[in-house]
A and B are shown apart, each in its own frame.
Chain A
């Protein structure tokens, strides 16, 4: 089935004028161009008409927030970037985007901040003009800075009415000791509350990280390399290189299992998260790809555990797993929401047994082929619009600066054997790398202040 799909994709890509080699999962032709200032442009002609997606990927996320008291700044910058420049104050920037019929937004993760706009192709130059300007000349007065910090607090407040968010916050804080993955992208709440006092630091942050060598521009859709490159050179070519290098603290090996408990003030079902330290993203070394397979095998809708906990015993209504790609070693996490508090221990035991099963014997070869098939069809089904193509691309170019890493990663999946999956499970699912976080409803007591 995989082979058939690969052949089909080749035919489809050729039909779109591509020169991709057989067997590659990414179905569109792409080019990469490096400007003298270190900025990289990735251009993908999707063959879909009229629309262009611009994704500007800055390789700075909460991982880069190395100074105590300054968590959440990468995300704050995602907001400040909409505060404008002298030439294009925010209302002028808005007017240009509005004239392009653009959908614009941005997001921040542990490893990157991504600014995106999807718009009509005839507006490419005007959009690149205002985008080039704000990445080089962002200027926000202290008053505007302080106002924006309150919007960020508003976002924190919005997010943390959700217990899953709170649980993840506790999980990261417990699992990590030194690495900046200890805090979430939103940052520690005390740092968010202190943001209005950090105007000077914000200028320093921009100066350090918003630099061309730290940025990749993805242009996808109804656009060709020549046009895109000429415009990007014109609008981003004068951007000056930076020199700052962050010393991201390495996480020391975890030596013992950890647990943490979160009390939730309003009624909710208990949630249990069982997490292990996991390797960084890689498109050559097998470990992180093997753990992706393990995630599907043991914890997806197609797993024995899901069938038992969700469909048969009906003890759990949410079972989800996460082995998200990160620049540095992160976490492999399984989360279950338990319908009846008395079942929490049993659910936790069953999750641990599913981890143990991955360690104890190689997975069935036919099951492995099912997971590989799932991964490839999932990818193919996702390539259904210019915006989705660019959205899929952005995390990968954030990790390795080239779309080729997608092809390499999926080729790696294709080579994995049941023994590889077991070896990765034995290496990472060890008790000294484990963190278990639980959340349950506990009404706050009244009349006491501490």
Chain B
């Protein structure tokens, strides 16, 4: 039923006449997938209007078009089991969805009117604004300590930077947002210069040209790339404790790295990250030391690219490309009495990695893993299309082939060189979501030994190492405590 497109069919064309970039991957699949992407996002939110990009996209994807009210769009999409979703990150906004080819005309007709002729209805606006505020207050602060910590980490690292607010915005900015703010954002950013039309599947001949012609109605716009200043790394360890009445303690830590997927050194750093903490995998080193050996929590992972919603999915979503990325460690919730030990254990392992690098054996096995695993990242046609768009954005060839070739050329020295050059156990930000923040603050500042209580006997070497972990020096520049209800408020 489904045919993968041959790589030779990859067409990356810049249609000069319409100034519209297109990425098409035609195949024999009975499904047609769209990724209509604008190279704009939360980094382009106007001053004082964090959340404008995300709410604008929500108005398009979850609001009515001028001709068709939202409830009728829902009604029309229901029998064909199709949907139109939006994703807004700092530099990219994408509208994506798939339809069976039986229903292509109906689906595309709705998609086109929603994106090109939005309805801007007051009642849609009221509903979506409330949803966004509830997302911050209820979903993030209330229900998901892990994502809260991760988003707060990004906010902290990028303070005063165009990436310095969560893409959803802040409660106060959303409360003051007007429909005119969104219309202005749409006019300025939804332009041909920002547009990339992504299309894959068994669409008929001439269809891509028709889509391109339709989207030529958007204003030309000027190709503009937001200037991104270098983020200022934390001095020593900068700790923020988010106080919340919650069962367990969630920890995230990280720092900016000066490379992204376009850098020749990125594959080397990817090997280091995969070795240290492959996402949701039991093969990572952190997972092994913290969870498997010590039973501290549910999992411990590392990242060199933004990966939201990781608790709900195994593969990252495409079209979250950013010119600036951070290195991040994610410690899943631990029992509060083990919070300090877990924090130190993560830093201890990072320190060891930086000091000693990885072994030849670990290098070879991680490289082999990634060379095959990359195929799993692009199993679906929507993922293939998303990765193709991202590769174009980063200026690299087709992702799977590129990564496999780069991995084949890598040496152990490349990886350990990248570790020494880009990773460090200091000058990092730490975010902890925990209930007794003051006690943790005192523990951090006192430098007192951290212990862990086990439910079973541990080998002598583990207990010996626990002493090193528990006394790992925390060279802290600041520790502050913020109540959870102030996070993402202003």
Contact = CB atoms under 8 A, between A and B. Distances in A.
A268 B283 contact: no
Contacts of B4: 48-49
B102 A1 contact: yes
Interface string B1-29: 11110000000000000000000000001
B134 A149 contact: no
B167 to A, nearest CB: 19
Interface in B286-302: 288, 291-298
Interface string B142-186: 111110000000000000000000000000000000000000000
B100 A5 contact: yes
B291 to A, nearest CB: 6
Interface in A2-59: 4-5, 8-9, 12-13, 15-16, 27-28, 46-51
Interface string A281-322: 000000000000000000011100011001110100100000
A86 interface: no
A350 interface: no
Contacts of A377: 79-82, 100, 102-103
Of A8, A28, A268, A381, most buried by chain B (CB within 10 Å of CB) is A381
B333 A151 contact: no
B298 A370 contact: no
A302 B283 contact: no
A288 to B, nearest CB: 20
B81 A99 contact: no
A378 interface: yes
Nearest to A160: B247
A161 B145 contact: yes
A103 B296 contact: no
Contact of A146 (B3, B334, B456): B456
Contacts of B334: 154
16 contacts: A51-B379, A100-B372, A105-B280, A105-B314, A120-B375, A143-B457, A157-B335, A158-B333, A161-B143, A161-B247, A267-B485, A370-B79, A377-B79, A377-B81, A377-B100, A380-B31
B317 to A, nearest CB: 15
A337 B138 CA distance: 11
A46 B248 contact: no
Interface stretch (A385-393, A400-408, A423-431): A385-393
Nearest to A376: B81
Interface in A59-91: 82, 90-91
B245 A146 contact: no
B467 interface: no
B295 A339 contact: no
A361 interface: no
B379 A120 contact: no
B371 A101 contact: yes
B376 A118 contact: yes
Contact of A161 (B30, B123, B248, B369): B248
Contact of A99 (B1, B369, B454): B369
Contacts of A385: 2, 379-380
B369 A158 contact: no
Q: Is the interface of A mostly helix, strand, loop or mixed?
A: helix
Interface string B54-83: 000000000000000011001100111110
Contact of A265 (B138, B245, B293, B314): B245
B250 to A, nearest CB: 8
Given A47-B2, A49-B4, A105-B314, A154 B298 contact: yes
B411 interface: no
B373 interface: yes
A147 B455 contact: yes
A266 interface: yes
A380 B244 contact: no
Interface string A423-449: 000000000000000000000100000
Interface string A353-388: 000000000000000011001111110110111111
A317 B131 contact: yes
Contacts of B103: 377
Contacts of B142: 163, 266-268
A148 interface: yes
Contacts of B295: 146-151, 154
A120 B380 CA distance: 15
A104 B102 contact: no
Interface of A: 1, 4-5, 8-9, 12-13, 15-16, 27-28, 46-51, 82, 90-91, 94-95, 97-105, 118-120, 123, 142-151, 153-155, 157-158, 160-164, 196, 265-269, 300-302, 306-307, 310-312, 314, 317, 337, 339, 369-370, 373-378, 380-381, 383-388, 444
B259 interface: no
B239 to A, nearest CB: 21
Given A161-B143, A339-B134, A310 B127 contact: yes
Given A94-B282, A151-B297, A380-B81, 20 more contacts: A1-B102, A9-B1, A49-B4, A101-B368, A103-B314, A143-B457, A145-B456, A146-B454, A146-B455, A150-B455, A151-B295, A158-B332, A266-B245, A374-B81, A377-B80, A377-B100, A380-B30, A381-B100, A384-B380, A385-B380
- Among A28, A118, A150, the one with the most B-chain Cβ atoms within 10 Å of its Cβ is A150
B194 interface: no
Nearest to B370: A101
Contacts of B145: 161
Given A146-B456, A161-B143, A370-B79, A119 B2 contact: no
Contact of A104 (B281, B365, B371): B281
Contacts of A82: 282
B455 A149 contact: yes
Contacts of B146: 158
B1 A154 contact: no
A381 B82 contact: yes
A154 B81 contact: no
Nearest to B278: A98
Contact of B248 (A4, A120, A149, A154): A154
A269 B138 contact: yes
B405 interface: no
A307 B100 CA distance: 25
A268 B292 contact: no
B477 interface: no
Interface string B443-457: 000000000001111
A153 to B, nearest CB: 7
B137 interface: yes
A154 B372 contact: no
Contacts of B311: 158
Contact of A147 (B70, B80, B293, B333): B293
B373 A101 contact: yes
B112 interface: no
B187 interface: no
Contacts of A378: 81
B224 to A, nearest CB: 36
Contact of A98 (B31, B74, B98, B366): B366
A94 B81 contact: no
A289 to B, nearest CB: 17
B360 interface: no
Contacts of A119: 372
A105 B314 CA distance: 10
Contacts of A301: 74, 78
A4 B296 contact: no
Nearest to B315: A103
A209 B134 CA distance: 44
Contacts of A384: 2, 29, 31, 98, 380-382
Contacts of B298: 151, 154-155, 158
A142 B456 contact: yes
